[in-house]
Amino acid sequence: MVDIKKQISYWRDNALEDLSVARDLVRDAKVRHGLFFAHLAIEKALKASVCNTTGDIAPRIHNLVRLAELAEIDLDAAQKDVLAEFNAFNLEGRYPNPLAPPVSQQEAMEYFSKAEEILAWLIRLL
């Protein structure tokens, strides 16, 4: 039998740690890696929400919009758009496209701020 409270704590705590790593990477101009870790932080917070809602282990998927659906989180259009944008950072972190224009330091800081807001909101939902 799965200890759901332990699963929720695991995902939540790891999300907070990954956000801290993302902050350091973005600050140090390691934008691609920083935004990948920001995506990872949001993903893990959503997985905590999935566990909380379903009472089961979160699936091994990375799509933030789909995870929010599984967690039965009511997203407005703007929130859904932000999660969809962050999905691109998961792919770019794993499979960098050398032809794509890089995200600037300023843009990365703006995205990081969005990640902080989303993560704080998701943690409050737990």
| CB contact at 8 A, 126 and 12 | yes
Domain 4-125, classified CATH 1.10.10.410, yes or no: no
Measured distance CA(28)–CA(6) in Å, rounded: 33
**Span 81-91, mean pLDDT?**
96
Measured distance CA(94)–CA(71) in Å, rounded: 25
Residue 78's pLDDT is what?
Answer: 95
pLDDT in tens, 11-35: 999 999 999 999 999 999 999 999 9
Domain boundaries along the sequence of the chain: 4-125
Query: Residue 12, Cβ neighbours under 10 Å: how many?
Result: 21
Measured distance CA(32)–CA(48) in Å, rounded: 25
Under the banding of pLDDT at 50, 70 and 90, the label for residue 1 is: confident
Residue 102 corresponds to which tokens in the numbers above?
């890089």
| Cut 0.75: pTM above it | yes
